Structure formats: C-alpha cells, structure tokens
Amino acid sequence: MIQRSLQKTIASRLFDGKAILIFGPRQVGKTTLLKLLTQGNDKVLWLNGDEPDVKELFAHLTSTRLKPYLGKANLLIVDEAQRIADIGLKLKIIIDALKDVQLIATGSSSFELANKVNEPLTGRKFEYKLLPFSFGEMVNEQGLLKEKRMLAHRMIYGYYPEIVNHPGDEKERLQLLTESYLYKDILVWEQIHKPDKLTKLLQALAYQVGAQVSYNELGQICGLDAKTVEKYILVLEQAFIIFRLKSFKRNLRNELKISKKIYFYDNGIRNAIIANFDQIETRKDIGALWENFLMAERQKYISYHMLWVKPWFWKTKDQQEIDYLEEADGKLAAYAFKWNPKAKYKFPRSFKETYVDSSYKLIHKENVEDFLLD
C-alpha cells in the first residue's frame, strides 16, 4: 500500500482528546488509510453511516446505549458520517461522555459533514483533507526519477488510487469513477434535477482550465442563470471536484479586482469529462493540462504540510499575467508554468517594480520537484 502523507500526522493526534475528521471525495483511500492507522489494534469499532442499523443507533443515541456496542473498543470510526442526521450533535455526545474513546469520522463531501459539525464540535476536532495520490507520495513510493518519467501519463490519467493501481485499464475506470462522482453523490445531495446541464457546466469548466471564468458566460453555454451556475460550482467545489483561485490585487490600478479561475483536483477526471485521453504529443491543451496538474499538486502539498499560505493568480487589464502567486509571512512567491524547459518567459516588469521583495520561479517538467517536494 502506498504510504499517505497524512498517516503520520493523524497518528500523532490519536487520543489527544479531540475528534478527528477526514474529508475527501470517494475512492481516494480514506478507509484504507484508517485500516493502516489501526493495523494491529483489535479495540476498534467500525460503523458505516450508509447502513440502516447504524442510522437507527444514532437516531436515538445516548452514551449509555453506545457503550454495549463499544465493548472494550477504545477507537470508534464512523465512516460516511454525513449520512447520519444531526451528526455534529451526536459526535459531541460521544466526545463529551466517552473521554477514553478516540473518535474518527470520515465524509465524502466537505459541505455535508462540515456544515453539521462545525458549531457542535467547536474546539473539539482536528480536520484533515485526503485527496488522490500526490506527486510527493508517489516519489516516496518509487523514487523521483521514475515518477518524473510518469509525468506525461499522470497529466492524462491523474492520481486516483484505482487508476494508479490498474495500469492499462485507466480509461474505463475513469469513466466509471466520473459517473459515480456526478450521479451518485452530487445529484443526490443537492437534488439537482438537470444532470445534463451539470454535465455541460463541467465540460465548459474543463475546456476553460487556466482561463478566467464568467458565471454569465458559463450560464449561456449551459442554459442556466448565473446564480444557478454559482450554486453548482460551489457544490462541485465542496465535493472536491474543482477548486477556485482568485485574482491578486494590492497596488496597481490596472490589476483585475474580482476575477477567478477554476481548476480540477485531478487531471484524469478533467479528461474523462471531455472524453479526451489523447497522449501529450498530440494535444493542443498541453499548457492547460500542465497548469492544472501543478495547481492541484500544489494544493495537496499545502494541505498535507499544513502551510499557512494564500494562493492567487495575477493579471492586469492589459493582459500581463502570472500563473500563480503564494503569499506567506508577508512575502510573495511568483511562479510561471511551462511544460517545455526551453520555453522563454519574463515576469512582468510592473509586478517586479511594485512588489519588490517577491521571489520568482519558472516551473517546467525538469524542475517540477522544486515546486512539489520539500
């Protein structure tokens, strides 16, 4: 099994007096991670929020009623916790009444679980986000040289565990995974009655990776009003399919004030949505693929290393642009992305003259480790 970056972090938090919440999309290995964490521990009770008898137990939950289920167990895992009504209050009962029991809850959507637990569990929880395998995790598994040789493959098929673990069968498995994403979770959670419109929206977002997006324009493409587009994008983001990046503005008059780009957490999902698995050598969207890959991998790096940084992109009205900015401790780091190491790029003079203490780095396929590894 491939070692996950979060394993040591979560292990260090066990029996620290707080609940541990693990968010993430389906099929990224949340259950596998917990099995590794609890390996050798025979005092674990697993409950699945999808099962009717578990829902019934929590419907009338008291500490007295739960104790016989626990027996000698000192670790309680509630999988798919978002399926249980009033889960935040129920988890609070467990934490307050069973001080010697470590509680871990997982959920396949941030909004479903987080909205129900934030207030009841204030000050009583550690939260972690588990995503598909990362570049760093794969480097730890098989070495930097081999993983860099796989970059073109990863840009097409992504890092979902099922995809990585079944070489040669990526296309069909990605198609099944994508259908599960759209129709099993999102349509049920939000009771979306126009799946064809949602599919068109995802396809439009996939084609606009790396470009500024307009909700009005997306609505015209999909046949939806701007408010519905915004709602759907929020749902897609909270289900860990996409994430937004906002524009940076501080000092220059012609910097874009309110603008956004949207990226996919996984290149394979993005390519499955538009049914394009052509290899890198023949693709016209290689720049967008490389940018999306780096953006997604950097978000994993930030999340797994618990970094306090703010991510942005920068653009002016006269089309000067920097792909990615990171702000930490009052300092800005500017990055440009080019797949080809021989590509030329100059960071805009206006940015350099305005933000004089910034650092600058061009990231390409030969120095990618400078951006995605310690």
158 shares a domain with 13: no
pLDDT of 82? 82
CB atoms within 10 A of CB 74: 15
Q: Which of 129, 160, 183 is the last residue of a domain?
A: 129
Strand pairing category for 242-246 and 260-264: antiparallel
Q: In what order do the strands lie in the sheet with 310-315?
A: 310-315, 321-328, 331-337, 359-363
Domain residue limits at 200:
136-372
CB atoms within 10 A of CB 347: 18
150 shares a domain with 96: no
Q: Which of 109, 129, 149 is the last residue of a domain?
A: 129
11 vs 80: which has the higher pLDDT: 11
* Interatomic CA distance for residues 28 and 36, integer angstroms: 14
Structural domains in the chain (count)? 2
186 shares a domain with 123: no
In a domain, 334, yes or no: yes
342 shares a domain with 211: yes
Mean pLDDT: which of 26-35, 171-180, 298-307 is highest?
A: 298-307
155 shares a domain with 123: no
In a domain, 108, yes or no: yes
- Please say if the pLDDT value at position 102 is more than 70: yes
292 shares a domain with 150: yes
312 shares a domain with 192: yes
Q: Would you put residue 117 in left (φ > 0), alpha (ψ -120 to 50) or beta? A: alpha
Per-residue pLDDT band at 193 (split at 50, 70, 90): low
In a domain, 1, yes or no: no
Rg over CA atoms, the chain? 22
Q: Are 21 and 128 in contact (CB under 8 A)?
A: yes
Provide, rounded to the nearest whole percent, the portion of the chain with pLDDT above 70.
92
Q: Which CATH number covers residue 50? A: 3.40.50.300
99 shares a domain with 215: no
Q: Which of 129, 150, 171 is the last residue of a domain?
A: 129
In a domain, 199, yes or no: yes
Q: Are 33 and 130 in contact (CB under 8 A)?
A: yes
Q: What is the mean pLDDT of residues 30-48?
A: 90
157 shares a domain with 119: no
198 vs 338: which has the higher pLDDT: 338
163 shares a domain with 209: yes
Q: Are 33 and 166 in contact (CB under 8 A)?
A: no
pLDDT of 370? 96
107 shares a domain with 20: yes
- Please say if the pLDDT value at position 288 is more than 70: yes
State pLDDT tens for residues 258-284. Answer: 789 999 999 999 999 999 999 999 999
pLDDT of 184? 64
347 shares a domain with 331: yes
pTM of the model: 0.92
Per-residue pLDDT band at 323 (split at 50, 70, 90): very high
In a domain, 339, yes or no: yes
- Return the residue matching tokens 């990226």: 263
Task: Give the 3-state secondary structure of residue 107.
Answer: strand
Q: Are 294 and 337 in contact (CB under 8 A)?
A: yes
- Please say if the pLDDT value at position 194 is more than 70: no
pLDDT of 259? 83
